[in-house]
A and B are shown apart, each in its own frame.
Chain A
Amino acid sequence: MKTKLTFAAALLAATMLSGAAGAKTFVYCSEGSPEGFDPGLYTSGTTFDAAAHTVYNRLLEFEQGTTETVPGLAESWEISEDGLQYTFKLRPGVKFQTTDFFTPTRDFNADDVIYSFERQWKSDHPWNQYVAGGSWEYFSGMGFPNLIKSIEKIDDMTVRFTLNQQEAPFLANLAMPFASILSKEYADKLEADGQMQLMNQQPLGTGPFQFVAYQQDAVIRYRAHEDYWNGKQAIDDLVFAITPDASVRYQRLSAGECHLMPFPNAADVEEMKANPDLKVMEQEGLNIAYLAYNTQMEPFDNPQVRKALNMAINKEAIVDAVFQGMATPAKNPIPPTMWSYNEEVEDDPYDPEEAQRMLEEAGVTDLSMKVWAMPVSRPYMLNARRAAELIQSDFRQIGVDVEIVSYEWAEYLERSSDVNRDGAVILGWTGDNGDPDNFLHTLLGCDAVGGANRAQWCDEEFNNLVVEAKQTTDPDERTRLYEEAQVVFKREAPWATLNHSLSIVPMRKEVEGFVQSPLGDFAFEGVDLVE
């Protein structure tokens, strides 16, 4: 089955190579293999880039280059007075892709929307467990199972979502990859053929590119969707060349084997900028790296101690040594590109002497503590080990002994969530939907203690602010609440905010129309190659 399909695809590609001279092929050296092609099942950006941003669309989309939502497959929507009912008018005349493996007979409609959400929502849905042991991580992570009361089809082109409580970030959530809209007709066909697992191997949607073939751990191939509702793409073929090693990606890029790459080694960026064949885009990423104290443990339950330690950390040195300068020191728990970022907040100065004095004043002497360093490299923290070593030598200066500990990644995540954890944890976060709620409530709210709130920090004043902001739909009011929350955060200092990393995208000179996403996505809609 598989060979036959790739063969057919290959014939097509071969004819295109030989016949249609000037067919534009855009090659993206991606950083890893997708886990699968059903964006609902996974959480990694790699998978979203390969499936959600190529093959699929969502009801709402993030406007390219921003975190604002714009109409996607939904043309317009209305929110009821009480903020509980969202009614979406769907875009008419949207075509699904026609591929070697499926030919659609109808346009996109309400059935597709309902199918796409119900399969993730209802545990008795035939597609809920179509992949053995599969789980809908984001759907549950964003709280949808408790949030959604009903999804109804009003007519073929109208769908209504009813919520159990007010949730201001709901619209932004619908623009996230897990909310991609699949084809109900394709699903029905696969179900009838007893081939349901193909949904995760041969995706089919309404997006700008259609799936052609995947060679495991090597190459994914796509072709422009002829009837794409937003206009056929300028490039004919899109290729993801899977290249996990950053220095190899760079070599391929400079050799012209690919046109664009994600996540360069910070060490290579200067050289890339000097290379006349390349251009480099950079933007502050929607992320934060932090050192979270356990605020429920002595002596870290004392804000003055936390503050003192924060003042002993030389963030500039971390930015230099870990990111080769490709990051900015952080003062707030949300990144500067996010709305409601509070410019007024002043960062704790780097002042070891004052820090030592404050520690003595708090009655803390001979302190020895653990600092946890993540075993993996993440976009917000390329090398936690290195950062931990720098913090260790910073703290030694003020007489605090640091033991660096690390665990295997899964264990690290699990153990660091424990309320009784010993030590301060280096960790970070990359925003999902561009909403401050996704940082401030998700990472620092009282609900998240014992979970994503690694500081185990439950501050009544702060929590009230972020909960209120969640239930308010007025943007100005929300901004005010979040700005105030950031002031409380800085005063109480549950974290040392370390840095926001820059997201750097090197590409060939001939690449036009690529827009850097603050969410860290790599989406190639609108990209072109101009000699």
Chain B
Amino acid sequence: MATTNPKSADAGIGLEGGPDTAATRRAMLSEFWYYFRQNRGAVVGLIVFTLIVLVALFAPLIAPHNPAMQIRGSFLLPPVWQEGGRWEFILGTDAVGRDILSRLLYGARFSLFIGLVVVALSATVGVIVGLIAGYFRGPVDTAIMRLMDIILAFPSLLLALVLVAVLGPGLLNAMIAIALVLQPHFVRLTRAAVMAENGRDYVTAAKVAGAGNLRLMFKTILPNCTAPLIVQATLSFSTAILDAAALGFLGMGAQPPTPEWGTMLAEAREFILRAWWVVTFPGLAILITVLAINLMGDGLRDALDPKLKRS
């Protein structure tokens, strides 16, 4: 599940290099928005995603109940439209009498947080390592790429599972583990982009002008590799949410009573035949979130990838 969409790995280098002024930047942005808007799915994805972000931000205001509060005497109530359901608990309650809707709303916070942290972590580390490998080449490059090969030799979820077992079950450790298994993709992508850019005239020009290694790497080359990295980051965002939920489901991610969606599913498993709602809704929430992000990701790729634009 953690494999990236294969398309992104060989996606084009995106925006042309050269001096970037405010004007060209604005032009690029509006061009980007033009192409993004063309993709109806992406716009829907963006809207849904925005809604989820809003839900996450304002969860304490909109949630009807405290997600951790156990309302005694209301164990496993069905959703409101089913017999026995109450308006008080629109999506029903779980085995210890907590409101499922409130838990789902709060759960959005965790999923987005997981996505953000994992992407930030894996992208930062991956880009730096990839820059180093692509810029310096030679034995450093070989060593780094061999290490990445080793990480990629394991199925990502299995590696994450064992890593979390080593670090101890929990949300933070799950995020670290997932970031670690995702970062080789950033390394490879950055390295390839850097190697492609390295020979270009503007880089040579900067070199001749006496720019230092760091400046060359971060100020000259990196900004011109951002397009594929943004697409990759979007994909990693959704992968991170899925993998964290899977770890939660296996009992190795966020620990109960955290209202993380995968963990909620794991807790709900024993009621699968008796209370379908405790199983159905958390999974639906995961699917909708991941789908929205992937829709956006497709749109981003189309808008940022000139090669596809032409076709």
Contacts and interface: CB of A to CB of B under 8 A. Distances in A.
Contacts of B70: 321, 389-390, 393
B75 A321 contact: yes
Given A321-B70, A321-B75, A393-B70, A247 B257 contact: no
A375 B266 CA distance: 13
A385 B270 contact: no
Interface stretch (B50-58, B83-91, B102-110, B271-279): B271-279
A317 interface: yes
Interface stretch (A57-65, A158-166, A265-273, A476-484): A265-273
A389 B96 contact: yes
Contact of A267 (B97, B168, B169, B274): B274
Given A321-B75, A386-B95, A386-B96, A268 B274 contact: yes
Contacts, number: 46
B273 A250 contact: yes
A385 B271 contact: no
Interface in B252-286: 255-257, 269-275
B273 A247 contact: yes
Interface string A244-278: 01110011000000000000010110010000000
A246 B270 contact: yes
A383 B269 CA distance: 13
Contacts of A76: none
Contacts of A271: 274
A474 interface: no
Q: How many B residues touch the partner, as a band?
A: 20 to 34
B96 A251 contact: no
Contacts of B274: 267-268, 271
17 contacts: A245-B269, A246-B270, A247-B269, A247-B272, A250-B273, A267-B76, A267-B274, A268-B273, A320-B75, A321-B95, A321-B97, A375-B251, A385-B255, A386-B96, A386-B256, A389-B96, A393-B70
Interface of A: 245-247, 250-251, 265, 267-268, 271, 317, 320-321, 375, 385-386, 389-390, 393, 406-408
A321 to B, nearest CB: 5
Contact of B257 (A265, A268, A385): A385
Contacts of A389: 68, 70, 96, 257
B309 interface: no
Contacts of A267: 76, 95, 270-271, 274-275
B25 interface: no
Nearest to B98: A389
Contacts of B75: 320-321
Contacts of B275: 267
B72 interface: yes
B273 A251 contact: yes
Given A268-B273, A408-B165, 4 more contacts: A247-B272, A267-B271, A375-B169, A389-B68
Contacts of B76: 267
A31 to B, nearest CB: 13
Closest 7 CB pairs of A and B: A265-B270, A321-B96, A385-B256, A267-B274, A247-B272, A267-B271, A247-B273
A422 B83 CA distance: 47
A390 B165 CA distance: 27
A386 to B, nearest CB: 6
Contacts of A385: 255-257
A49 to B, nearest CB: 22
A515 B255 CA distance: 39
Contacts of A390: 70, 96
Contacts of A320: 75
Contacts of B269: 245, 247
A408 B169 CA distance: 8
A408 B165 CA distance: 9
Nearest to B73: A320
A250 B96 CA distance: 22
A271 B96 CA distance: 19
B40 to A, nearest CB: 41
A14 to B, nearest CB: 35
Interface string B137-170: 0000000000000000000000000000100110
A385 B258 CA distance: 11
B72 A317 contact: yes
Contacts of A375: 169, 251
Contacts of A268: 273-274
* Best-buried of B68, B256, B271 by chain A (most CB within 10 Å): B256
Contacts of B273: 247, 250-251, 268
A317 B274 CA distance: 21
A271 B76 CA distance: 15
Nearest to A393: B70
Nearest to A254: B273
Nearest to B256: A385
A406 B97 CA distance: 22
A120 B181 CA distance: 46
Contacts of A386: 95-96, 256
A320 B97 CA distance: 11
Contacts of B169: 375, 408
A245 B257 CA distance: 22
Contacts of A250: 273
Interface string B163-185: 00100110000000000000000
Contacts of B95: 267, 321, 386
Contacts of A247: 269-270, 272-273
A385 B264 CA distance: 13
A386 B70 CA distance: 10
Interface string B191-232: 000000000000000000000000000000000000000000
Contacts of B168: 407-408
B252 to A, nearest CB: 10
A411 to B, nearest CB: 9
Contacts of A408: 165, 168-169
A271 B75 CA distance: 16
Contacts of B68: 389
A410 to B, nearest CB: 11
A130 to B, nearest CB: 31
B265 to A, nearest CB: 14
Contacts of A317: 72
A406 B70 CA distance: 20
A96 to B, nearest CB: 42
A375 B165 CA distance: 13
Contacts of B271: 265, 267
A250 B270 CA distance: 11
Contacts of A251: 273
Contacts of B272: 247
Nearest to A407: B168
A127 B255 CA distance: 44
Interface string B46-77: 00000000000000000000001010100110
A34 to B, nearest CB: 23
A245 B272 CA distance: 11
A317 B272 CA distance: 23
A43 B70 CA distance: 37
B2 to A, nearest CB: 24
Contacts of B72: 317
B298 to A, nearest CB: 37
